[in-house]
A and B are shown apart, each in its own frame.
Chain A
């Protein structure tokens, strides 16, 4: 009578991998990636809008300009020529930076992991928004913190709640926020909140990690000061070219005070020595000149239209007691449905009707979000968005009928 193990390393995995488990939702997404399914789930940029010729040109330019360098290792901090371009890119959002204070990472996602690595000890408290970017929860989660979630409203993080928690003795290692058109809620933090958050964190000695992947995808209104501009010495800023150019090149960065950057560089070198020289120099060429501006402007126009189509379709097809956010930019609309809806349980029926979304529970470490869903308007065409929302609307009305029949 032997105990039979299907994985002979089972007793050897680190305890921190315990949270990495198979899930029904992942199984359903395997079906949702099929072309007949309208996926409102993934936040994929519409990269088809970047002209292929532009890409071919910049690859050729990278070799013309830099010889064999794109084929070589780079330094751990990333090529200076790219960092200088990133300084210019941040200036578009009125953020002043020095190329020496930047470390280039494999997407901003790697910066999240490195920040977890240098700041989080097991059991540390980390403040995140409720709901929060799931990729940050998983990146930080590997370092075994416990999360303190602070609610979002129309003006972003409810700073009063954070203040309350700090008054009651919470001592978080840092506060993580996506202030512009956040993932998943699509909410933007108001200027007043930004100022309060920055002041509160400065007084309390808690650093802020500001993740700004969507800031340049603004559809209307004035862009607001980054948290970093409000208090450079207490804010670690994360950027990415994923939405401005391509997520395929995996170029992101962290901007922080030299002491933090030094640790991030060491952690980065330990993780992967350096980023891809090829991708960094191709990105540098793409950001030179003005072609990126024209491409970005046309992308933003397209995303704005898609957002409009989604909001209009939601108004037409979703139940009257559903609520959703009206993002001024970015990729996502966040929907709150009546309390009886369980979006995770409903996903199978949605996929059966050829439409997919991300259930709200993914964005809370504590099981909340059952009646919420994230809808992405960035990738599907207008017609597909209309179809997808109509399918979800009809599913919700059938579900409501079913619910009522179960609660006569």
Chain B
């Protein structure tokens, strides 16, 4: 197939995306596909796609440019099939304000949270209610931008006094901040590929510094990974179940990663979902695939096959 791998873009995850894109391109070429990398920050994407006439687009754009549904809508308009989730579902999944609500409504276990909106602070005096946020969520908590990836703009705080600073930092990346209860336990990532979604082995994440922040994610050696995760069968099963429930609730497709945390009682909670999971050499999904005995080429090809079924 002729495949355009979309990577790069103008978000802070540009470098991560380019690393993902190059690995995917190499894997697809190895499988005999005619793969070309297109960077929307370097070319006029619609024109480049019309010129290239790809059979399919493989999306490795991270952050809001690639995960919020915009690119997907454009590709729908151009009549080009692409890997991953449909526009509206991307929009919901990428925006934690919407996604958390959608998960809770579907009965998927996710940590208690509150939303702090920038405009409500500026125009409605919502700052006066900040104490309630801390009360509802409790300490310690995690503050993150509503729309951003790779833990950018995320803070872990222990004291209510640090809440305002953390909210300001998150609002630097997005219009709203999510303040979420911090569940103590092991972080476990669940990857799914194909249709119906096939669960990959779970990956357990143990950041050496204790926090899985940007540096812990992208510095080799800063985090230890255990794959498959060191969980008993019942717990593993429960993680896969809750992750699958999240995937179903949010209508995610082809390739997704659901980040969970297993608390001290062995109960899994869904932290967030990714519609364009990282495919770099330090990313979780390729790691899980490798444990399943798939090469990078197998992984990418399965994603492509899942998307290609939508060609009519």
Binding site for B on A (CB under 8 A): 1-7, 10, 13, 20-24, 26-28, 30-31, 34, 342, 345-349, 351, 398-399, 401-408
Contact = CB atoms under 8 A, between A and B. Distances in A.
Interface in B202-254: 203, 214-215, 217-222, 224-228, 230
Given A3-B226, A7-B220, A405-B125, A27 B171 contact: no
A349 B172 contact: yes
A396 to B, nearest CB: 12
B127 A24 contact: no
A24 B228 CA distance: 29
Nearest to B226: A3
Contacts of A5: 224-225
B245 to A, nearest CB: 25
A401 B291 CA distance: 50
A406 B167 contact: yes
A21 B208 CA distance: 13
A231 B169 CA distance: 48
Nearest to B11: A31
16 contacts: A2-B226, A6-B225, A21-B222, A22-B215, A24-B153, A24-B214, A26-B15, A27-B15, A27-B214, A34-B10, A345-B165, A346-B172, A402-B122, A402-B168, A406-B121, A406-B164
B205 to A, nearest CB: 10
A4 B214 contact: no
Contact of A342 (B118, B122, B168, B173): B168
Interface residues on B, range: 35 or more
Interface string B263-295: 000000000000000000110000100010000
Given A4-B225, A22-B217, A30-B15, A348 B152 contact: yes
Contacts of B222: 21-22
B13 A27 contact: yes
B127 A345 contact: no
Contact of A31 (B12, B172, B215): B12
The residue in A20, A348, A403 that gathers the most chain B C-beta atoms within 10 A of its C-beta is A348
Given A345-B168, A348-B12, A10 B221 contact: yes
B23 interface: no
A7 B224 CA distance: 10
B122 to A, nearest CB: 6
Given A1-B228, A346-B172, A6 B282 contact: yes
Contacts of A7: 220-221, 281-282
B12 A28 contact: yes
B134 to A, nearest CB: 12
A4 to B, nearest CB: 4
B114 to A, nearest CB: 14
B216 to A, nearest CB: 9
B165 A342 contact: yes
Contacts of B217: 22
B174 to A, nearest CB: 9
A401 to B, nearest CB: 6
Nearest to B227: A4
Interface of B: 10-16, 41, 118, 121-122, 125-128, 130, 150, 152-153, 164-165, 167-169, 171-173, 203, 214-215, 217-222, 224-228, 230, 281-282, 287, 291
A349 B214 contact: no
B12 A351 contact: yes
For the complex of A and B, the 3 pairs showing the least CB-CB separation, nearest first, are A22-B218, A345-B169, A7-B220
Given A349-B173, A403-B168, 18 more contacts: A3-B226, A4-B203, A6-B225, A7-B220, A13-B221, A21-B215, A22-B222, A24-B152, A34-B10, A34-B41, A345-B169, A351-B12, A402-B122, A402-B171, A405-B126, A405-B127, A406-B167, A408-B127
B168 A399 contact: yes
A403 B15 CA distance: 31
A348 B172 contact: yes
Contacts of A347: 172
A75 B106 CA distance: 73
A1 B230 contact: yes
B12 A27 contact: yes
A34 to B, nearest CB: 6
Contacts of B13: 27
A48 to B, nearest CB: 22
A249 to B, nearest CB: 28
Contacts of B282: 6-7
B185 to A, nearest CB: 18
Contact of A407 (B127, B203, B224): B127
A348 B227 contact: no
B298 to A, nearest CB: 17
Contact of B12 (A3, A13, A30, A407): A30
B125 A22 contact: no
Contacts of B172: 345-349
A190 to B, nearest CB: 37
Nearest to B130: A406
A404 B121 CA distance: 9
Contacts of A10: 220-221
A401 B122 contact: yes
Nearest to A5: B225
A174 to B, nearest CB: 30
A394 B14 CA distance: 26
B152 to A, nearest CB: 6
A31 B65 CA distance: 13
Contacts of B226: 1-4
A6 B228 contact: no
Contacts of B153: 24, 345, 348
A2 B214 contact: no
B14 A31 contact: yes
B125 A408 contact: yes
The residue in B14, B125, B128 that gathers the most chain A C-beta atoms within 10 A of its C-beta is B14
B296 to A, nearest CB: 13
B289 to A, nearest CB: 12
